Amino acid sequence: MPAPFRATLEANHASLFLYKSLVLPCIEGCGPERISQIVDAIDTMDSLSDEVATLTTMLSSAQEMRLDSEGRIMLSSDFIEFSNLDDTALFAGIGRSFQIWHPDVFRQREQAARANAKTNGLPKLTLGRNTAPTDGGS
């Protein structure tokens, strides 16, 4: 388990949750706050909607994990098979969560994303507060 993520979990006495990605061949990991956010979002949606069906599919694979004294986790055979892992896994941080990939698959995806950025440009990001530009105070 990546040390920075493990340290955050330990500092907050929080559990670790893993689940199958909905669209990628990897396992995603997060803390209980992220799971709570997803559950809260589901509670605000139409329970019969396709969006709820999609999110509940993701949550249905979620497993609470326990780290051993060395900070390791034991992945279930279902997770290993889903993400085609063998004896090596790659952890990719994605902000408040992370992904666990087969290294070769991750590198292929990374190369494709870099090629896409070169061809199509970078995505537009809004960082911080979205404020309108000022004209110098007039």
Please give the structure tokens belonging to residue 78: 């279902």
Q: How many domains does the chain have?
A: 1
73-111 CB burial, b ≥16 within 10 A, e <16 = bebeeebeebbebeeebbeeeeeeebbbbbeebbeebee
- Please state the rounded mean pLDDT for residues 121-126: 83
Alpha-carbon gap, residue 98 to 5, rounded angstroms: 9
Domain membership of residue 136 (yes or no) is: no
List Cα–Cα distances, 77 to 46, 74, 80, 82, 131, in angstroms: 34, 9, 5, 8, 48
The CATH number that applies at residue 88 is 3.40.1550.20
Q: What digits encode the pLDDT tens for the residues 18-59?
A: 999 999 999 999 988 889 999 999 999 999 999 999 999 999
Q: What is the pTM assigned to this prediction? A: 0.80
Reported confidence tier of residue 15, pLDDT bands at 50, 70, 90: confident
Q: What digits encode the pLDDT tens for the residues 87-115?
A: 899 999 888 889 999 999 999 999 999 99
The domain of 39 spans: 3-119
Domain membership of residue 85 (yes or no) is: yes
